[in-house]
Amino acid sequence: MLSVKAKAKNIPPERTLVVPDFVERIYLPWVEEHKRPSTLKSYQDIWKAHLKPILVRDRVLLRDVRTSTVQNWLNQIGQQDLSKNSLKRIQSLISGIFSKAKQLDYYEKVNPVQNTEVNPKAADPQETCAYSLDEEEAMLRVFPEPAATVFAVAAYAGLRRGEITGLDWSDWREDEDSPFGALWVSRSVWNGHVGEPKTKKSKAPVPVIPQLAKRLAMYRERCGSPAEGPMFANTLGGRMHLNNLLRRVMLPALNRCRQCGGREGKSHLRQDHAYERDTRIPQWHGWHAARRGLGTNLYHLGVSDKVIQRILRHSNVNVTMSYYVKPMDADVLSAMAKLEQNVAERTAAQALRDSDGTVNPPSGATPDLVN
Protein backbone atom coordinates (compact mmCIF):
# COMPACT_ATOMS: atom_id res chain seq x y z
CA MET A 1 0.00 0.00 0.00
CA LEU A 2 1.43 3.37 -1.03
CA SER A 3 2.10 5.99 1.62
CA VAL A 4 0.51 9.43 1.31
CA LYS A 5 3.91 10.81 0.31
CA ALA A 6 4.28 8.20 -2.42
CA LYS A 7 0.76 8.89 -3.67
CA ALA A 8 1.55 12.59 -3.95
CA LYS A 9 4.54 11.80 -6.12
CA ASN A 10 2.29 9.71 -8.38
CA ILE A 11 0.00 12.63 -9.21
CA PRO A 12 0.19 12.96 -13.02
CA PRO A 13 2.23 15.94 -14.32
CA GLU A 14 -0.88 17.53 -15.84
CA ARG A 15 -2.38 17.64 -12.34
CA THR A 16 0.71 19.15 -10.73
CA LEU A 17 -0.28 22.81 -10.44
CA VAL A 18 0.56 25.74 -8.22
CA VAL A 19 -2.44 26.74 -6.10
CA PRO A 20 -3.38 29.92 -8.04
CA ASP A 21 -3.47 28.00 -11.32
CA PHE A 22 -5.75 25.34 -9.84
CA VAL A 23 -8.10 27.95 -8.39
CA GLU A 24 -8.41 30.00 -11.58
CA ARG A 25 -8.33 27.18 -14.15
CA ILE A 26 -10.26 24.48 -12.29
CA TYR A 27 -12.01 25.56 -9.10
CA LEU A 28 -13.66 28.88 -9.98
CA PRO A 29 -14.93 27.58 -13.36
CA TRP A 30 -16.45 24.64 -11.47
CA VAL A 31 -18.15 27.05 -9.05
CA GLU A 32 -19.47 29.07 -11.98
CA GLU A 33 -21.04 25.95 -13.47
CA HIS A 34 -22.50 24.42 -10.31
CA LYS A 35 -23.16 27.22 -7.81
CA ARG A 36 -25.36 30.31 -7.66
CA PRO A 37 -24.02 33.47 -9.37
CA SER A 38 -23.98 35.26 -6.00
CA THR A 39 -21.80 32.48 -4.57
CA LEU A 40 -19.36 32.76 -7.47
CA LYS A 41 -19.14 36.54 -6.99
CA SER A 42 -18.46 36.10 -3.27
CA TYR A 43 -15.70 33.54 -3.92
CA GLN A 44 -14.12 35.68 -6.63
CA ASP A 45 -14.06 38.70 -4.33
CA ILE A 46 -12.41 36.75 -1.50
CA TRP A 47 -9.90 35.20 -3.89
CA LYS A 48 -8.86 38.48 -5.51
CA ALA A 49 -8.79 40.59 -2.35
CA HIS A 50 -7.28 38.22 0.21
CA LEU A 51 -5.89 34.95 -1.14
CA LYS A 52 -4.46 35.58 -4.59
CA PRO A 53 -1.89 38.24 -3.53
CA ILE A 54 -0.37 35.81 -1.01
CA LEU A 55 -0.53 32.63 -3.09
CA VAL A 56 0.84 34.20 -6.26
CA ARG A 57 3.83 35.38 -4.26
CA ASP A 58 4.39 31.97 -2.63
CA ARG A 59 3.86 29.92 -5.83
CA VAL A 60 3.54 26.73 -3.77
CA LEU A 61 2.55 23.53 -5.54
CA LEU A 62 -0.93 22.33 -4.66
CA ARG A 63 0.32 18.85 -3.77
CA ASP A 64 2.89 20.27 -1.32
CA VAL A 65 0.46 22.31 0.80
CA ARG A 66 0.33 21.27 4.47
CA THR A 67 -1.67 22.44 7.46
CA SER A 68 1.19 24.74 8.47
CA THR A 69 1.10 26.25 4.96
CA VAL A 70 -2.57 27.15 5.27
CA GLN A 71 -2.08 28.43 8.81
CA ASN A 72 0.64 30.74 7.51
CA TRP A 73 -1.79 32.11 4.91
CA LEU A 74 -4.44 32.66 7.57
CA ASN A 75 -1.91 34.36 9.85
CA GLN A 76 -0.99 36.83 7.12
CA ILE A 77 -4.63 37.54 6.26
CA GLY A 78 -5.46 37.79 9.97
CA GLN A 79 -3.25 40.87 10.21
CA GLN A 80 -5.77 42.73 8.10
CA ASP A 81 -8.68 44.59 9.67
CA LEU A 82 -11.21 41.81 9.20
CA SER A 83 -13.86 40.39 11.52
CA LYS A 84 -13.84 36.80 12.71
CA ASN A 85 -16.74 36.00 10.41
CA SER A 86 -14.84 37.34 7.40
CA LEU A 87 -11.78 35.29 8.32
CA LYS A 88 -13.91 32.16 8.76
CA ARG A 89 -15.40 32.68 5.29
CA ILE A 90 -11.88 32.83 3.87
CA GLN A 91 -10.94 29.69 5.80
CA SER A 92 -14.07 27.96 4.47
CA LEU A 93 -13.21 28.88 0.89
CA ILE A 94 -9.71 27.41 1.24
CA SER A 95 -11.25 24.22 2.61
CA GLY A 96 -13.61 24.06 -0.36
CA ILE A 97 -10.71 24.47 -2.76
CA PHE A 98 -8.83 21.50 -1.29
CA SER A 99 -11.96 19.36 -1.02
CA LYS A 100 -12.52 19.83 -4.75
CA ALA A 101 -8.81 19.19 -5.43
CA LYS A 102 -9.07 15.83 -3.64
CA GLN A 103 -12.23 14.92 -5.56
CA LEU A 104 -10.53 15.65 -8.87
CA ASP A 105 -7.29 13.84 -7.94
CA TYR A 106 -5.14 16.97 -7.76
CA TYR A 107 -4.43 16.47 -4.04
CA GLU A 108 -3.93 13.25 -2.06
CA LYS A 109 -3.49 14.29 1.58
CA VAL A 110 -6.01 15.10 4.29
CA ASN A 111 -7.62 18.50 3.75
CA PRO A 112 -4.91 20.85 5.12
CA VAL A 113 -7.45 23.34 6.49
CA GLN A 114 -8.25 20.90 9.28
CA ASN A 115 -6.79 22.05 12.63
CA THR A 116 -6.16 25.59 11.39
CA GLU A 117 -7.62 28.60 13.18
CA VAL A 118 -8.33 32.24 12.43
CA ASN A 119 -6.94 35.13 14.42
CA PRO A 120 -8.60 34.85 17.87
CA LYS A 121 -8.05 38.58 18.42
CA ALA A 122 -10.00 39.57 15.32
CA ALA A 123 -13.02 41.77 15.91
CA ASP A 124 -16.35 40.14 16.58
CA PRO A 125 -18.90 40.74 13.81
CA GLN A 126 -21.18 43.74 14.21
CA GLU A 127 -24.60 42.98 15.61
CA THR A 128 -27.21 42.75 12.89
CA CYS A 129 -30.46 44.72 13.05
CA ALA A 130 -34.10 43.67 13.07
CA TYR A 131 -36.82 46.24 12.41
CA SER A 132 -39.50 46.52 15.09
CA LEU A 133 -43.18 46.72 14.17
CA ASP A 134 -43.18 50.43 15.02
CA GLU A 135 -40.22 51.05 12.72
CA GLU A 136 -41.86 49.12 9.89
CA GLU A 137 -45.11 51.03 10.29
CA ALA A 138 -43.22 54.35 10.28
CA MET A 139 -41.37 53.39 7.09
CA LEU A 140 -44.56 52.34 5.35
CA ARG A 141 -46.04 55.78 6.12
CA VAL A 142 -43.24 57.63 4.33
CA PHE A 143 -42.46 55.29 1.43
CA PRO A 144 -44.25 56.11 -1.85
CA GLU A 145 -45.44 53.36 -4.15
CA PRO A 146 -44.19 50.91 -5.24
CA ALA A 147 -41.60 51.10 -2.44
CA ALA A 148 -44.26 50.76 0.27
CA THR A 149 -45.65 47.52 -1.15
CA VAL A 150 -42.18 46.11 -1.81
CA PHE A 151 -41.18 46.82 1.79
CA ALA A 152 -44.45 45.36 3.09
CA VAL A 153 -43.61 42.06 1.36
CA ALA A 154 -40.20 42.09 3.04
CA ALA A 155 -41.62 42.98 6.47
CA TYR A 156 -44.82 40.94 6.56
CA ALA A 157 -43.78 37.89 4.53
CA GLY A 158 -40.04 37.85 5.25
CA LEU A 159 -38.97 37.27 1.66
CA ARG A 160 -35.35 37.85 0.73
CA ARG A 161 -34.54 40.66 -1.69
CA GLY A 162 -33.90 38.29 -4.60
CA GLU A 163 -37.14 36.44 -3.88
CA ILE A 164 -39.13 39.70 -3.93
CA THR A 165 -37.54 40.62 -7.24
CA GLY A 166 -38.48 37.20 -8.61
CA LEU A 167 -42.16 37.36 -7.66
CA ASP A 168 -44.75 37.09 -10.44
CA TRP A 169 -48.40 37.99 -9.98
CA SER A 170 -49.26 34.34 -10.55
CA ASP A 171 -47.22 33.50 -7.43
CA TRP A 172 -49.89 35.14 -5.23
CA ARG A 173 -52.64 32.59 -5.25
CA GLU A 174 -55.20 30.87 -3.11
CA ASP A 175 -54.10 28.51 -0.36
CA GLU A 176 -56.46 26.29 1.60
CA ASP A 177 -54.70 27.10 4.86
CA SER A 178 -54.55 30.89 4.36
CA PRO A 179 -57.75 32.91 3.71
CA PHE A 180 -55.80 35.71 2.03
CA GLY A 181 -53.71 33.43 -0.13
CA ALA A 182 -50.00 32.79 -0.11
CA LEU A 183 -46.91 33.98 -1.93
CA TRP A 184 -45.37 30.90 -3.56
CA VAL A 185 -41.62 31.45 -3.62
CA SER A 186 -40.35 29.67 -6.70
CA ARG A 187 -37.42 31.75 -7.99
CA SER A 188 -34.76 34.21 -6.91
CA VAL A 189 -33.05 36.95 -8.92
CA TRP A 190 -29.53 38.24 -8.37
CA ASN A 191 -28.05 40.89 -10.66
CA GLY A 192 -30.42 39.87 -13.44
CA HIS A 193 -29.73 36.14 -13.05
CA VAL A 194 -32.95 34.17 -12.46
CA GLY A 195 -32.42 30.98 -10.49
CA GLU A 196 -33.74 28.73 -7.78
CA PRO A 197 -34.32 30.02 -4.24
CA LYS A 198 -31.45 29.77 -1.79
CA THR A 199 -32.35 26.30 -0.46
CA LYS A 200 -34.91 23.57 -1.10
CA LYS A 201 -36.75 24.67 2.04
CA SER A 202 -36.93 28.21 0.63
CA LYS A 203 -39.09 27.04 -2.26
CA ALA A 204 -42.39 27.13 -0.40
CA PRO A 205 -45.57 29.19 0.10
CA VAL A 206 -45.66 32.01 2.65
CA PRO A 207 -49.09 32.92 4.09
CA VAL A 208 -50.28 36.47 3.36
CA ILE A 209 -51.74 38.44 6.28
CA PRO A 210 -54.74 40.77 5.64
CA GLN A 211 -52.71 44.00 5.78
CA LEU A 212 -50.30 42.74 3.13
CA ALA A 213 -53.16 41.35 1.02
CA LYS A 214 -54.84 44.77 0.93
CA ARG A 215 -51.63 46.49 -0.11
CA LEU A 216 -50.96 43.94 -2.83
CA ALA A 217 -54.52 44.27 -4.13
CA MET A 218 -54.31 48.07 -4.25
CA TYR A 219 -50.95 47.98 -5.96
CA ARG A 220 -52.21 45.43 -8.48
CA GLU A 221 -55.17 47.67 -9.30
CA ARG A 222 -52.82 50.59 -9.91
CA CYS A 223 -50.82 48.39 -12.29
CA GLY A 224 -53.93 47.62 -14.36
CA SER A 225 -54.87 44.34 -12.63
CA PRO A 226 -52.36 42.09 -14.44
CA ALA A 227 -52.81 38.34 -14.15
CA GLU A 228 -49.18 37.47 -14.84
CA GLY A 229 -45.75 38.96 -15.32
CA PRO A 230 -43.39 40.45 -12.71
CA MET A 231 -45.14 41.67 -9.59
CA PHE A 232 -42.69 44.53 -9.31
CA ALA A 233 -41.86 45.63 -12.83
CA ASN A 234 -39.71 48.46 -14.15
CA THR A 235 -40.83 50.90 -16.83
CA LEU A 236 -39.81 48.45 -19.56
CA GLY A 237 -41.82 45.61 -18.09
CA GLY A 238 -38.82 43.73 -16.75
CA ARG A 239 -38.08 42.97 -13.14
CA MET A 240 -37.43 45.97 -10.92
CA HIS A 241 -33.92 46.38 -9.51
CA LEU A 242 -34.63 46.82 -5.81
CA ASN A 243 -31.31 48.47 -4.99
CA ASN A 244 -32.12 51.15 -7.57
CA LEU A 245 -35.50 51.61 -5.87
CA LEU A 246 -33.72 51.87 -2.54
CA ARG A 247 -31.21 54.45 -3.72
CA ARG A 248 -33.60 56.62 -5.74
CA VAL A 249 -36.80 56.44 -3.70
CA MET A 250 -36.54 54.80 -0.30
CA LEU A 251 -33.42 56.39 1.18
CA PRO A 252 -34.50 59.92 0.14
CA ALA A 253 -37.86 59.25 1.81
CA LEU A 254 -36.15 58.22 5.06
CA ASN A 255 -33.48 60.92 5.10
CA ARG A 256 -35.44 64.15 5.49
CA CYS A 257 -34.64 67.39 7.27
CA ARG A 258 -36.18 67.77 10.71
CA GLN A 259 -36.99 71.45 10.17
CA CYS A 260 -38.36 71.61 6.61
CA GLY A 261 -38.91 67.99 5.61
CA GLY A 262 -36.68 68.46 2.58
CA ARG A 263 -34.38 65.81 1.24
CA GLU A 264 -30.68 65.71 1.96
CA GLY A 265 -28.42 66.85 -0.85
CA LYS A 266 -27.93 69.74 -3.24
CA SER A 267 -31.58 70.80 -3.15
CA HIS A 268 -31.34 71.47 0.57
CA LEU A 269 -28.43 73.87 0.12
CA ARG A 270 -30.94 76.54 -0.95
CA GLN A 271 -32.60 76.47 2.47
CA ASP A 272 -31.77 79.04 5.15
CA HIS A 273 -30.81 76.37 7.70
CA ALA A 274 -28.44 73.44 7.95
CA TYR A 275 -29.69 69.95 7.18
CA GLU A 276 -30.56 67.94 10.28
CA ARG A 277 -31.95 64.47 9.76
CA ASP A 278 -35.38 63.84 11.27
CA THR A 279 -34.64 61.16 13.86
CA ARG A 280 -38.34 60.39 14.23
CA ILE A 281 -38.05 58.49 10.94
CA PRO A 282 -36.30 55.09 11.29
CA GLN A 283 -32.92 54.55 9.68
CA TRP A 284 -32.33 52.01 6.94
CA HIS A 285 -30.47 48.88 8.07
CA GLY A 286 -30.80 46.76 4.95
CA TRP A 287 -33.40 44.52 3.32
CA HIS A 288 -32.53 41.58 5.53
CA ALA A 289 -33.38 43.57 8.66
CA ALA A 290 -37.03 43.22 7.61
CA ARG A 291 -36.67 39.43 7.42
CA ARG A 292 -34.95 39.36 10.81
CA GLY A 293 -37.66 41.69 12.07
CA LEU A 294 -40.38 39.23 11.11
CA GLY A 295 -38.66 36.43 13.00
CA THR A 296 -38.04 38.62 16.03
CA ASN A 297 -41.53 40.13 16.09
CA LEU A 298 -43.21 36.73 15.76
CA TYR A 299 -41.10 35.27 18.54
CA HIS A 300 -41.88 38.09 20.96
CA LEU A 301 -45.56 37.76 20.14
CA GLY A 302 -45.41 34.17 21.38
CA VAL A 303 -44.98 32.19 18.13
CA SER A 304 -42.94 29.02 18.57
CA ASP A 305 -39.46 28.73 17.09
CA LYS A 306 -40.46 25.81 14.87
CA VAL A 307 -43.31 27.80 13.31
CA ILE A 308 -41.02 30.80 12.73
CA GLN A 309 -38.55 28.45 11.06
CA ARG A 310 -41.29 27.31 8.66
CA ILE A 311 -42.40 30.88 7.91
CA LEU A 312 -38.82 32.00 7.18
CA ARG A 313 -38.21 28.71 5.32
CA HIS A 314 -34.97 27.87 7.08
CA SER A 315 -33.49 24.39 6.84
CA ASN A 316 -32.39 24.47 10.48
CA VAL A 317 -34.21 25.97 13.46
CA ASN A 318 -30.83 26.84 15.01
CA VAL A 319 -30.26 29.33 12.20
CA THR A 320 -33.63 30.90 12.97
CA MET A 321 -32.97 31.31 16.66
CA SER A 322 -29.29 32.29 16.37
CA TYR A 323 -29.53 34.91 13.63
CA TYR A 324 -33.18 35.91 13.16
CA VAL A 325 -34.52 36.36 16.69
CA LYS A 326 -33.10 39.43 18.42
CA PRO A 327 -33.45 40.39 22.09
CA MET A 328 -35.68 43.37 22.78
CA ASP A 329 -35.55 45.83 25.67
CA ALA A 330 -38.55 46.71 27.82
CA ASP A 331 -39.40 49.86 25.87
CA VAL A 332 -39.57 48.00 22.57
CA LEU A 333 -41.61 45.17 24.05
CA SER A 334 -44.02 47.67 25.57
CA ALA A 335 -44.38 49.48 22.26
CA MET A 336 -45.05 46.21 20.46
CA ALA A 337 -47.72 45.28 23.01
CA LYS A 338 -49.46 48.61 22.44
CA LEU A 339 -49.18 48.18 18.69
CA GLU A 340 -50.58 44.67 18.82
CA GLN A 341 -53.50 45.90 20.93
CA ASN A 342 -54.41 48.81 18.70
CA VAL A 343 -53.51 47.73 15.17
CA ALA A 344 -56.85 46.01 14.57
CA GLU A 345 -58.75 49.08 15.81
CA ARG A 346 -56.74 51.45 13.63
CA THR A 347 -57.14 49.22 10.61
CA ALA A 348 -60.90 48.96 11.12
CA ALA A 349 -61.34 52.69 11.76
CA GLN A 350 -59.30 53.91 8.79
CA ALA A 351 -59.57 52.80 5.21
CA LEU A 352 -56.11 51.74 4.11
CA ARG A 353 -54.71 53.97 1.37
CA ASP A 354 -51.47 53.68 -0.47
CA SER A 355 -49.11 56.57 -1.07
CA ASP A 356 -51.01 57.59 -4.22
CA GLY A 357 -54.35 57.71 -2.45
CA THR A 358 -55.77 54.44 -3.79
CA VAL A 359 -58.39 53.14 -1.35
CA ASN A 360 -58.29 49.46 -0.45
CA PRO A 361 -60.76 47.25 -2.31
CA PRO A 362 -63.82 45.85 -0.53
CA SER A 363 -62.87 43.45 2.25
CA GLY A 364 -63.63 39.78 2.12
CA ALA A 365 -62.29 36.41 3.09
CA THR A 366 -60.08 36.30 0.02
CA PRO A 367 -59.24 39.33 -2.17
CA ASP A 368 -60.79 38.99 -5.62
CA LEU A 369 -57.44 39.67 -7.23
CA VAL A 370 -55.67 36.63 -5.79
CA ASN A 371 -54.98 34.04 -8.50
For 35-56, what is each residue's pLDDT tens digit?
A: 999 999 999 999 999 999 999 9
Average of per-residue pLDDT values in the chain: 86
What is the arithmetic mean of pLDDT over 193-197? 89
Greater model confidence, 164 or 323: 164
Q: Which residues contact 305 (CB under 8 A, 6 or more apart)?
A: 299, 317, 320, 321, 325
**Gap between the Cα atoms of 36 and 194, Å rounded:** 10
Indicate the CATH number for domain 12-103. Answer: 1.10.150.130
Class of domain 133-254+287-349: mainly alpha
What is the arithmetic mean of pLDDT over 305-330? 82
Confidence of residue 80 (pLDDT cuts 50, 70, 90): confident
What is the arithmetic mean of pLDDT over 79-100? 95
Residue 6 pLDDT > 80: no
| In contact, 322 and 128? CB cutoff 8 Å | no
Could you tell me the CA-to-CA distances from 53 to 3, 47, 58, 194 in Å, in that order?
33, 9, 9, 33
**Gap between the Cα atoms of 265 and 249, Å rounded:** 14
**Residue among 268, 181, 184 nearest 216 (CA):** 181
Residue 328 pLDDT > 90: no
pLDDT of residue 342: 67
pLDDT of residue 1: 40
Q: Which of 90-104, 175-189, 323-337 shows the lowest per-residue confidence on average (mean pLDDT)?
A: 323-337
Any idea where the domains of the chain sit in the sequence?
Answer: 12-103, 133-254+287-349
- What pLDDT, in 10s, does the model give residues 146-191? 999 999 999 999 999 999 999 999 999 987 777 889 999 999 999 8
